[in-house]
Homo-oligomer: A and B are copies of this chain.
Amino acid sequence: MEKPHRHVVRVRYADTDAMGVAYNAAYLIWFEVGRTEWLRARGLPYREVEERGVALPVTEATLRFRTGARYDDQIEIETELAEVQSRRVVFTYRLLRGDRCIAEGSTIHFPVEIATGKAVRMPPWLLERLA
């Protein structure tokens, strides 16, 4: 079993809301950052995926919030590839502050041919890199 990929972000003032903690939508952005860095660590920056004509839009997302992230907290994003099939990839995420899991979630993506906007099967070069 591969270890999850880890990447650290800081909570920005822009991420916080009047409750004094990060607004819920900020977590979806951190999931994006985790996934981006997971792909880069695999040698396949998402920018290159798109340059090769394929996008991986989000079709489903789930989030579970355990405790608030405060301004300037360092949040470690643990990203794992949970599943990959010809028409679907699932990533899971855990956000940690120190040892404590503050939130977790998942995103499901499907491959789209950018030129036509149509859903397609995962091309071999992408499937090999993900699997």
A interface list, Cβ under 8 A from B: 10, 12-14, 16-21, 23-26, 28-29, 32-33, 36, 45-47, 50, 55, 57-65, 68, 70-72
Known contacts: A25-B14, A25-B29. The answer to whether A65 contacts B71 by CB under 8 A is no
Chain B residues positioned under 8 Å from A21 (CB to CB): 18
Q: Tell which of B18, B19, B25, B50 touches A25, judged by Cβ atoms closer than 8 Å.
A: B25
Stoichiometry, copies per complex: 4
CA distance A79 to B24 in the complex (A): 18
What are 20 A-B interface contacts by the 8 Å CB criterion? A12-B32, A13-B19, A13-B32, A13-B36, A14-B23, A14-B25, A17-B17, A18-B18, A18-B21, A18-B70, A24-B28, A24-B32, A24-B58, A36-B72, A46-B72, A47-B72, A57-B65, A57-B68, A59-B64, A60-B65
A interface, by DSSP: helix, strand, loop or mixed?
A: mixed
CB distance from A25 to the nearest CB of B (A): 4
Contact A55 B25, CB 8 Å, known A12-B36, A46-B72: no
Whether B61 contacts A63 by the Cβ 8 Å rule is yes
Q: Do A12 and B29 touch (CB < 8 A)?
A: yes
Chain B hits for A57, CB < 8 A = 19, 65, 68
